[in-house]
Amino acid sequence: MYGIDTDGPADNSGAVDLRSDTLTRPTPAMRRAMAEAEVGDDVYREDPTVTALEERVAELFGHEAALFVPSGTMGNQIGLRLVCEPGQEVLGDADCHVLTYEMGAAAALFGLSSRTVVSAGGRLSADQLVEQVRPHGDWHLTATAAIAVENTHNRGGGLVQPLPELQRLFDWSRGAGVAVHLDGARVFNAHVASGVPLSTYGRLADTASVCLSKGLGAPIGSVLVASAERIAAGRLWRKRLGGGMRQVGVLAAAGLHALDHHVERLADDHENARLLAERLGTDPASVETNMVVVDDVPAPAVAEAAKAQGVLVGQVGPRRIRMVTHLDVDRAGVERAADVVSKVLADL
Ligand SMILES: Cc1ncc(COP(=O)(O)O)c(C=O)c1O
């Protein structure tokens, strides 16, 4: 019912579109980089641009190897499969993307069981998760093989996970034989907001999927990082899932361009989100990255009224709207959105 908006084909040109940071279109410079990319058949591992992207992302996150995949969902699901066997369990918070928005893929594709804890708005508590872990080797229990962590947290309104909790969870997991998977769809936002190096976030996970097609503005693509052995196995899973791609250096080039030009600028999106929150009377402290959430409003009515005035907002619950700032919305667009949405809210 209330997932990510699926309005269907629509002409939203000219609108200030704050539904998601996935809506960005490649910039002219990114398109040039794509057009000029050197390519080869990546299933044969002969695409130099894909290889360059994989090496670069592996190094950024301090892992041995990486795998370019078409989507964050594929990166997450292969990542989970690499650290869980069928019949084992993934533990995560009840609002995490991998267990909420990925169509039950872990169960449907891989026979993985899942269990959730209700967190405080998505914020990670290592103790809360650790308490729920079920041991290996028991005759009755479903063994917890992995814990999924999301940073930043989407349904948590873009919150940045506290580093001490990530560290505690990872330290604990070493002795427990439980893997940590990071859904890092927006880990670049976390890095820019917190100043924590990407390599630190990377080393606190066994597998991590990071997206190029969210705030970084590439049209497609995610990268899964892990050990060389796991990535070799992940390559087989990607092929089985139909994700073996051919001359996709054109897409990897967009990712490389985004890494060169679109990481530091995420700070602008964060500032725009804070400005929007202030203008809407939302606590700016609740805005840690590029998302502004307004609760206790009739979401469909607000979205419709704003849309009629050229501003698109996301409905992520019957009484919750969400606005996400990104590369395609500049300061003037944010001011316009603030004018429209604040008036819509005042007129309720
Ligand atoms: C936190 C998070 N993880 C994973 C994904 C999945 O990415 P994709 O849409 O590329 O499959 C998303 C998508 O919005 C997301 O927000």
Whether 1 has a pLDDT exceeding 50, the answer reads no
The pLDDT of residue 9 is: 55
Whether a cis peptide bond, with omega within 30° of 0, leads into 207 is no
**How, if at all, do strands 89-93 and 144-150 pair?**
parallel
By CB atoms closer than 10 A (0-12, 13-18, 19+), residue 236 is: exposed
Q: What confidence tens digit (pLDDT) does each residue in 216-274 have?
A: 999 999 999 999 999 999 999 999 999 999 999 999 999 999 999 999 999 999 999 99
The pLDDT of residue 284 is: 86
71 lines ligand 1 (CB under 6 A): yes
Are 319 and 295 a contacting pair, CB within 8 Å?
Answer: yes
Question: Pocket of ligand 1, candidates 68, 95, 103, 154: which has the most ligand atoms within 8 Å of its Cβ, to mutate?
Answer: 154
Q: What confidence tens digit (pLDDT) does each residue in 13-30 have?
A: 789 999 999 999 999 999
152 lines ligand 1 (CB under 6 A): no
Q: What's the CA gap between 224 and 207, in Å, rounded?
A: 7
3-state per-residue secondary structure call for 290-335: CEEEEECCCHHHHHHHHHHCCEECEEEECCEEEEECCCCCCHHHHH
The pLDDT of residue 26 is: 98
Question: Pocket of ligand 1, candidates 5, 73, 80, 152: which has the most ligand atoms within 8 Å of its Cβ, to mutate?
Answer: 73
pTM value? 0.96
Neighbours of 281 (CB within 10 A): 11
295: alpha, beta or left, given left = phi > 0 and alpha = psi -120 to 50? Answer: beta
The pLDDT of residue 14 is: 86
Whether 7 has a pLDDT exceeding 90, the answer reads no
72 lines ligand 1 (CB under 6 A): yes
Tell me what percent of the residues of the chain surpass a pLDDT of 90.
Answer: 95
Q: What confidence tens digit (pLDDT) does each residue in 158-179 have?
A: 999 999 999 999 999 999 999 9
Q: SS3 of 152, please? A: coil
By CB atoms closer than 10 A (0-12, 13-18, 19+), residue 163 is: middle
Indicate which atom in ligand 1 lies nearest the CA of residue 150.
1
Q: Output the CA–CA distances (angstroms, integers) from residue 340 to 77, 255, 302, 321, in the order listed.
A: 39, 34, 10, 14
Whether 313 has a pLDDT exceeding 80, the answer reads yes
Mean model confidence pLDDT for the chain: 96
CA 239 to chain centroid: 22
24 lines ligand 1 (CB under 6 A): no
181 lines ligand 1 (CB under 6 A): no
* Mean pLDDT, residues 275-294: 96
CA-nearest of 41, 75, 47 to 61 is: 75
For the record, the structure tokens of 299 come out as 């979401």
Q: What confidence tens digit (pLDDT) does each residue in 41-59 have?
A: 999 999 999 999 999 999 9
Q: What confidence tens digit (pLDDT) does each residue in 131-163 have?
A: 999 999 999 999 999 999 999 999 999 999 999
Q: What confidence tens digit (pLDDT) does each residue in 205-229 have?
A: 999 999 999 999 999 999 999 999 9
For residue 10, what pLDDT band results from cuts at 50, 70 and 90?
A: low
